Chain A
């Protein structure tokens, strides 16, 4: 042992001032600085939302209607916007989740890598890259301006459809990828026992892929709930409650559009309300994100 170290000590010594070692340390520090710069905005944004929005938290904020701009003293609450965001996102989910899961099931279970399935996979990727504002414009051009849904123009339904377009590719992709993770033995076993393909998919593979699929759906819902661009020409905004079934065909408030509208108002009370709405929105979205992650981690194997 001692002989060995004597022979090689000269070669094996770590030279502190060798160019490569200095460069090594320098680059390591540099990447650390880059990491700090990357993480800093999150801390700053969350910090300011907590300070400026969290300080306004009260029961009336959550239960009252927003006041139309003009009064600098009092801006009301964001109750209808919270309900509105939930309604519009639920509409989007009702549309996008069945379509997305069905499409994903086709891609993972039925397709044999032919032209059609290649095209659908390609189309899913393209659709995922379509800017959200384009989805809004498309729904405006096809549904809002033509008043095709029961003569309603700006409506909660139109907003939900626009968000559904944005959710669809994510749901398809996560279903497709989730189903691909299911071991083929399960499928073979089910078929071998005489199950039809329908039974195999609904009883065996879909339940086995429940965790990744539901994680993907929750994440896409969180993304949809924070979207603004598709809603400003479709769901518009409303200063009233949307608590009747017929209000699905009327303009509806949402947290994200409230933030956009009120951030650009010259009145401070409105700006404050935008901060409060940001706090609520970010709080909900972070909860959804963390829930999705826990779902993936603690799910029964």
Chain B
């Protein structure tokens, strides 16, 4: 737009009014309120760190790094080591990720390609998002009473035939790491699927047309053109899901068995940091509280690292079309 020249006589018809001081005050105070509300986020974040860190100081001083590598957890003798829980957190989240990533990305591809009619694709996408809306505690209830009894024959089969593997060498008796991994898969699938779907949808249609134009089949185009173009968003979603799996509490608490005895077997009860916190924090006192806070600090650090890495990765990998 070009500036319109205003002649002297025309400006005279404007009645210039300055904003009243109350209007100015309102404007300034609104800005100040908005800034302080934004700062609340930082305040809350520091508060959480401060509470958890100051709570765990005693335990950090007493056990140090030993806490990370011993698995004895005994409130009677006051000896605490979180190895079982840390191992459980890492193993359940990584294994569930390993299962959920191909499933989620496969589903995302299926509902972004034109394999089935648009309406059916929309319906599947909606169902995946509704799955994410089911609360963790309800999935835990379902896992206890329906999923675990249903899967047990399969676990028994693995135990009978492959018990020479240390991962399958205990008898499946109910709660354990294996059902916890399965329920985690169900919980993180919607995250991976919907983020992967969104990133695939954002790939410019030109790339796809160009790939088809030079004779690529559907899957050549997907593997060589579309997936690489969407990889930043997908990788971010996968890492986000990893963070969620690490911090997931209720369903895992209900199905993992909450045992601090270390075992390689996926069929024996185990523990994760989040499950341990949910289970013991209510009744803990003295140095157990401090040790649980230490475990919480470890969990926070792990999820924080994963989240930061996720954000960094999205920036690093994003292609400029």
> Which residues in A have some Cβ–Cβ distance to B below 8 Å?
20-21, 23-24, 27-28, 30-32, 34-35, 37-39, 41-46, 48-49, 98-103, 105-107, 109-111, 117, 119-120, 122-127, 129-135, 137-138, 140-142, 165, 168-169, 172, 196-198, 201-202, 222-223, 226-229, 232-233, 256, 259-260, 263-264, 271, 274-275, 278, 281-282, 285-286, 289, 293
Contact = CB atoms under 8 A, between A and B. Distances in A.
Interface of B: 19, 23-24, 26-27, 30-31, 33-42, 44-45, 47-48, 51-52, 55, 102-104, 106-107, 109-111, 113, 115, 124, 126-131, 133-142, 144-146, 186, 189, 193, 217-220, 240, 243-244, 246-250, 254, 274, 277-278, 281-282, 292-293, 296, 299-300, 303-304, 306-308, 311
Given A30-B106, A260-B140, A120 B38 contact: yes
A253 B107 CA distance: 38
Contact of A289 (B130, B141, B142): B130
A110 B31 contact: yes
7 contacts: A27-B219, A34-B110, A123-B45, A126-B45, A127-B45, A131-B248, A141-B52
Given A106-B34, A281-B135, A282-B135, A137 B249 contact: no
A274 B106 contact: no
A282 B141 CA distance: 12
B247 A132 contact: yes
B299 to A, nearest CB: 6
Contacts of B115: 28, 31-32
A134 B48 contact: yes
Nearest to A261: B137
A170 B240 CA distance: 15
Nearest to A124: B41
B136 A226 contact: yes
A133 B249 contact: yes
A275 to B, nearest CB: 7
Contacts of B102: 34
A49 B142 CA distance: 8
Contacts of B37: 98-103, 105-106
The 6 closest A-B pairs by CB, nearest first: A131-B247, A226-B135, A102-B37, A34-B106, A106-B34, A129-B307
Contacts of A198: 23, 26-27, 30-31
A101 B103 CA distance: 36
Contacts of A142: 47, 51
B39 to A, nearest CB: 7
Given A106-B35, A110-B31, A228-B135, A168 B41 contact: yes
A132 B300 CA distance: 11
Contacts of B134: 42, 45-46, 226, 282, 285
Contacts of B34: 102-103, 105-106, 109-110
B51 A138 contact: yes
A165 B107 contact: no
A227 B19 contact: no
Given A120-B38, A259-B138, A260-B140, A141 B55 contact: yes
Given A31-B106, A32-B110, A131-B300, A24 B219 contact: yes
